Structure 1
């Protein structure tokens, strides 16, 4: 069987075509040394789960580079404080590595508390603080006893695993161990929910929350977009958890079900069909006839407006192809949304996917779709040159590979500025996709953009030069 692209022998099984040979690609393995993976570390995985808590300080206990590299890593918006966007680091130096950084950490926590009086201080361990053995749990406990403020250790040393998914779990454990269940709500209703795994990237939450509130549900907390530590502390009293980003947050939902008996359902607010199904599933869970009736009226009203607003975009996008190279959740949750604007998903891949992610991708995409795991820059360029999609959906690290090949690009990662969730978000989604695909810039640009020189031939094993 012909390989998807020419690459190292050990990398060939990380790519497959649905309906041919491998059912899913080999995944969740350490990246091949020297191939310049696009992955993020465990520390980065924890940061993206916790950073959207807006009333909190996020303190990185490590060299300044760890904090600088992950500052505003989530692209989350806030309707309240901007405290979460403060870049805070203990800035460990050679002296701290030799003699230990615990004293410096303790003094930094006290200084930050005195300046900002935050709702919580999250202290992230990094590779360096882990290697030198700083006891951040003890420092956090001492600081919390002195200040009365939640000071929460996040044991997120980057070297723990090759996959940032473990960082998602570590961030979730920090909330489960130190925040959730530490405060009681002033009042409860029969329709209390938590939105789990919604990080308000570009304001996505604000396209979901009004729909849920109009249905009649009461949102105790969002974990963790546009949230406060005190709100998450009350999350244990919800009657239902709805899980949006299933890549990062199934773990938290399962743990809460085990610990507090809170059931959860998986939802998807990207695309019309998925948004509609999610709202109905929430209403059906509560079984309240008035809520079910209200939900149907909301859906009817919103769909009527969206159809008219997106017709022009659909006509131009019909039959165009798109390649997805995104996070594990988006690699399958966006597929139906693209089909709804008339596009064909010809490739779907992710950097940090686990078996569960690729099973979902396989269930969602059509036969003939390429499924890719942990493609490095060279592999991604070869995939784009060989299969020539009309659009690449990815993040900032892949943007310039696409543009230099003359392939339109749309950011669906943390750096985007347009909200795509919910019915109104779908209109923005269709508009932005159309603006990228239909832009005349690639007709005006030099044709040599896509005629890059051939890369050197790769041998059949890792020892090839």
Structure 2
């Protein structure tokens, strides 16, 4: 579709193929590309993508081989909760300086690993390569291998140098590190149960999902990676099914585990009533247990009776409001559109950082005519599209919050920093409550009357 003839907004020429309007005509959209130089993309870097996937492993030590700023940037980056160890709350860095750039940082990395091993006797260490390491060429593979041989523990290199791609490449680097960790077990035995991939226990959401499966009689073998442990992860090859919550970060791992260990996978989403119901039932059917299917139906029926009156209250207050969405993956965006539809709201803009072509096809099919769809956007585009479409609220992550408030638009954090769960039946009510409280806050009238937005 020719953007110049259909969109009134000023965008970089190179960005026009990454933006489209839902219409009856051709809606081809470019995606899965590197960010355009100069567009100030909202995407995070490769290292950040790797860190957010691996950091929730609660008994692992995470060493950032690079400048101190990289460790600071991702320290406690997600609101992942732990039911036990708190080691992952710490952030360790080799703190590379100018001298190390000239002469190399391998000695510093070796010293950091030695210090942690001698003081704390860890079972597992992840070593993250940052941009500067990719430039100076430190051989972190050799350093990690030496440490494994000397201390008889797992020391896993994570190839996350920023110049190697975008955030999606960081997800892939993290998945490769997890596969390397799983090599200890070859999947030669099987446990009737599931691995939950791609939930990071933000505000305790992994606990909610796990409880659903416990109630319907399905065993959770391993959690990847929210509230997970080293001993648990190495059992993952024995599971009989993988369910993938965050498709953007964990589909690669699911596909590789299917090849290596023969574990099939299905994609799920526990955001919103519609997707939560279908996901619970799909897992129950996939496990082939009639009793689990029966219990799943009973669980769903009971939960719907409990929450529908609460949701009806918010539906009356939110009907007709207009929402903009900018999140990490396409699967979450799809679930959010369905949630807004259920609340009687209209999605006027939707975008992702790492969406896939097939996910954008689904998005096009479920949004209304005239909805703006975009991939890997930047603040200028977000501002223009939200303003033009009259969005009442933006759902995004921490980087999008200041922009929404600057424009006098309500905001919902669906990413790192939230303190309450938004998944499952409980999360659907929490989500509706937050959307209502922020959209219908009296502060917006004050701001607009005062000419501040």
Give the TM-score band, short-chain normalised. Answer: over 0.9
CA distance in 2, matches of 1:360, 1:176: 30
What residue is the counterpart of 1:127 in the other structure?
131
CA deviation map 1:366-399 (0-9, x unaligned): 3332101222111211112211111110112111
Indicate yes or no: 2:176 matched with 1:173: yes
Q: How does 1:106-185 map to 2 (within 5 A)?
A: 106-161=110-165, 163-177=166-180, 179-183=181-185
Determine the C-alpha separation between the residues in 2 that align with 1:352 and 1:235: 26
Aligned residues: 448
Contact 2:31 2:357 (C-alpha < 8 Å) held by counterparts: yes
For 2:190 and 2:83, the matched residues in 1 are separated by: 23
In structure 1, the gaps of 5 or more residues are 452-465
Instruction: Give the match for residue 341 of structure 2.
Output: 339
Residue of structure 2 aligned with 1:55, choices 40, 53, 59 = 59
Q: How many Å apart are 1:119 and its aligned residue?
A: 3.2
C-alpha distance in 1 between matches for 2:291 and 2:175: 35
Which of 78, 92, 99 pairs up with 2:96? 92
8 Å CA contact 2:199–2:206 kept in 1: the answer is yes
**Residue number in structure 2 paired with 1:232:** 233
What CA distance in whole angstroms lies between the structure 2 residues aligned with 1:244 and 1:188? 22
- DSSP-derived class of the 2:291 partner: helix
In 1, the alpha carbon distance for the partners of 2:319 and 2:385 equals: 22
Partner of residue 389, structure 2: 387
Question: How far is the alpha carbon of 1:181 from its aligned partner?
Answer: 4.2
* Equivalent pair of 2:241/2:287 in contact (CA under 8 Å): no
Q: Which whole-Å CA distance do the structure 2 matches of 1:32 and 1:213 have between them?
A: 46
* Equivalence map 1:47-446=2 (5 Å): 47-161=51-165, 163-177=166-180, 179-183=181-185, 189-190=191-192, 192-328=193-329, 329-446=331-448
The TM-score with structure 2 as length reference comes to 0.94
Quote the offset at 1:130 in angstroms: 1.6
1:24–1:411 CA distance, 2 compared to 1 (3 A): farther
The Cα of 1:446 is off from its aligned counterpart by 4.3
Q: How does 1:1-40 map to 2 (within 5 A)?
A: 1-3=5-7, 5-40=9-44
Distance, in Å, in 1 between the alignment partners of 2:349 and 2:386 is 10
Query: CA separation of 1:366/1:436 partners in 2, compared to 1, >3 Å: closer, same or farther?
Result: same
Cα RMSD, aligned residues only? 1.9
TM-score normalised according to structure 1 size:
0.92
Distance 2:268 2:33 in 1: 28
- Between the two structures, name the one with larger relative contact order (CA 8 Å, sep ≥ 6): 1
Corresponding residue SS for 1:334: helix
The answer as to whether partners of 2:191 and 2:238 remain within 8 angstroms in 1 is no
